[in-house]
A and B are shown apart, each in its own frame.
Chain A
């Protein structure tokens, strides 16, 4: 492998990892703070991708507007979903949560099928991000992928900022370690949960919108990203944003280079990584916390 190819693969790995981080951070936050395992989280990613497809004809080249509208819609959707459905899950045991959110996936898949059909769609990258730049004289790297990585990085930093530097973040961190205590301190725990949930949905949807031009929009995309995110959360530790970041990047690299080196066995490389982590550090790479 020459240097140019190696660099390209590294960039791909980082881009994939960061995108995964967006989805996984939502999942780990929702789990860490509300204690709910949500199988439907992949559906929010799919929602974002289909939103990008659906909104494209309306907003044309107004890319950032499109993103903003998508995020807004996702937040509203998340808020409503938490209020109507998820708030009833907090009291139930894990098995019931698994099954109820699994049923939700079925409902979402079918609603998507009814609204936009089952076809695979392409979404074009915005004009000003199309094309590539030269890397090492022989390889070229698409601008859009760079944008995707940068965008995810910006969001990651913003997330870090919110969680560690704001009052909301403080409540989130407190809620993650001691739910009852936070409630006792008079924080409106219901609203906090709703905000966190909507945030998680928005993060996943944003990831979907950003990923749409890269991976196209297809029916099964929610399921595949979900299970990889589970692996990320297991490796990184539940409730840990830093852990999710480290694990996402790790998974990104293992998956990308696995495809290069292991051909048809590449699909299992991520799970082998998980198995190794389980042998070495079953509680996840980071101890619980942020």
Chain B
């Protein structure tokens, strides 16, 4: 009887795919993310500066993807306008840096705060709708922000603005961190990624996080139990926006420039794709998805591999996405779970 239950549970687990940690742990618990972080931190000793750049870029997008995971994967709200918060964080960073640069102590709260403020407004209005309406409204609000930076004098128009001096962190007259230094930037990004991952993991394990999961699974029951669900959703939306703003700051620093395309809906679509590649409902999935998507895009654009098809990488990418989503709706993590349970079952039967 007991082994039947275990089998049944394993079946359900494989069925529903990876889930946030609600009484279940992902394989390996804390060890895997920590080891991965250490490995990434050790990489600069082993790889070229160009490769490090790729790692930085992937890490920043991983932060972006993790922030979206909080609302899509954990709370079940599909937002198609998340790039707006990335873009706002980036633009605020560049605008506040001006001609002579600024301190991280100023820029980080500013970028995060600006993104969070817009998320508050967008969230409050969008959460008055549900389902498909919500998707469309979030897209529209992102487009609105896009037009603000594209058309008005706030941004530099369609060309964007340059970041003249990268941010620094100075205490008692000494420069502790200078993001113009490649090594400093690398470690700053890794630390930001670890902090974001840790924060979201903590949030999801908390009462607040479990409430979000409850809202995702059955909002009606949550309300019947006494949860006013809208403030929870709004809080998740704002936190997600704030973290996206942090990613925006980092991308502005890394690229040294911002332009309105950061807020384009292609960017919002891309980060959603990262989530589905990795597997919705898993923090590791968000990171894996960011890696997978970035690499896939690089591959599709690689002349070395695809020759004449390379300039038409959108076609390759589009077809790859269709194939992937159709074949692996639970993403790479789901594939991993399916393989694991396929190996686990004979084990259980042996015990029974």
Docked pose: A180 CA to B309 CA in angstroms: 44
Mark out the residues of chain B between 105 and 157 whose CB falls within 8 Å of any chain A CB in the assembled complex. 125-126, 128-129, 131-133, 135-137, 139-141, 143-144, 147-148, 150-153
Determine the chain B residues whose CB is within 8 A of the CB of A83 once the complex forms.
none
CB distance from A236 to the nearest CB of B (A): 11
Set A110, A271, A278: member contacting B312, Cβ < 8 A: A110
Question: Closest 9 A-B residue pairs measured CB to CB?
Answer: A267-B147, A106-B318, A110-B315, A271-B144, A103-B321, A282-B128, A107-B318, A230-B136, A106-B314
Docked pose: A268 CA to B325 CA in angstroms: 34
Cβ-based interface call for B80 (8 A): yes
Tell me the nearest residue of chain B to A113, going by C-beta. Answer: B312
B315 near A271: Cβ-Cβ < 8 Å: no
A267 near B150: Cβ-Cβ < 8 Å: yes
Interface residues on B, range: 35 or more
Cβ-based interface call for B276 (8 A): yes
A233 near B136: Cβ-Cβ < 8 Å: yes
CB distance from A23 to the nearest CB of B (A): 14
B125 near A275: Cβ-Cβ < 8 Å: yes
Tell me the nearest residue of chain A to B322, going by C-beta. Answer: A103
Determine the chain B residues whose CB is within 8 A of the CB of A268 once the complex forms.
144, 147-148
Cβ-based interface call for B66 (8 A): no
Given contacts A99-B269, A106-B317, A278-B137, contact A114 B125 (CB under 8 A): no
CB distance from A6 to the nearest CB of B (A): 24
B273 near A99: Cβ-Cβ < 8 Å: yes
Cβ-based interface call for B171 (8 A): no
Mark out the residues of chain B between 205 and 253 whose CB falls within 8 Å of any chain A CB in the assembled complex. none
Which stretch from A90-98, A124-132, A208-216 is at the chain B interface?
Answer: A90-98
Determine the chain B residues whose CB is within 8 A of the CB of A99 once the complex forms.
269, 272-273, 276, 321, 325
Determine the chain B residues whose CB is within 8 A of the CB of A275 once the complex forms.
125, 141
Set A107, A109, A223: member contacting B265, Cβ < 8 A: A223
Set B132, B140, B147, B318: member contacting A110, Cβ < 8 A: B318
Given contacts A268-B147, A278-B125, contact A103 B315 (CB under 8 A): no
CB distance from A88 to the nearest CB of B (A): 7
Determine the chain A residues whose CB is within 8 A of the CB of B325 once the complex forms.
96, 99-100, 103
Mark out the residues of chain A between 229 and 279 whose CB falls within 8 Å of any chain B CB in the assembled complex. 230-231, 233-234, 238, 264-268, 271-272, 274-275, 278-279
A227 near B139: Cβ-Cβ < 8 Å: yes
Interface residues of A, dominant DSSP: helix
A100 near B322: Cβ-Cβ < 8 Å: yes
Docked pose: A104 CA to B322 CA in angstroms: 8
B319 near A107: Cβ-Cβ < 8 Å: yes
A31 near B129: Cβ-Cβ < 8 Å: no
Cβ-based interface call for B258 (8 A): no
B144 near A279: Cβ-Cβ < 8 Å: no
Docked pose: A109 CA to B140 CA in angstroms: 21
Residue from the set A223, A227, A238 with the largest chain B CB neighbour count within 10 Å: A227
Set A106, A109, A231: member contacting B321, Cβ < 8 A: A106
Determine the chain B residues whose CB is within 8 A of the CB of A230 once the complex forms.
136, 139-140
B151 near A103: Cβ-Cβ < 8 Å: no
Residues of B within 8 A of A (CB): 72, 78, 80, 125-126, 128-129, 131-133, 135-137, 139-141, 143-144, 147-148, 150-153, 265, 269, 272-273, 276, 280, 312, 314-315, 317-319, 321-322, 325-326, 329
Determine the chain B residues whose CB is within 8 A of the CB of A114 once the complex forms.
312, 315
Docked pose: A111 CA to B309 CA in angstroms: 12
A95 near B72: Cβ-Cβ < 8 Å: yes
Cβ-based interface call for A102 (8 A): yes
Set B148, B272, B317: member contacting A98, Cβ < 8 A: B272
Cβ-based interface call for A156 (8 A): no
Determine the chain A residues whose CB is within 8 A of the CB of B131 once the complex forms.
94
B132 near A94: Cβ-Cβ < 8 Å: yes
Given contacts A95-B280, A104-B322, A264-B151, contact A227 B143 (CB under 8 A): yes
Starting from the known contacts A99-B325, A103-B317, 14 additional A-B residue pairs (CB-CB under 8 Å) come to A94-B78, A95-B276, A98-B272, A105-B318, A106-B317, A106-B318, A107-B318, A109-B314, A113-B314, A223-B265, A234-B129, A266-B151, A267-B144, A267-B148
Docked pose: A230 CA to B142 CA in angstroms: 13
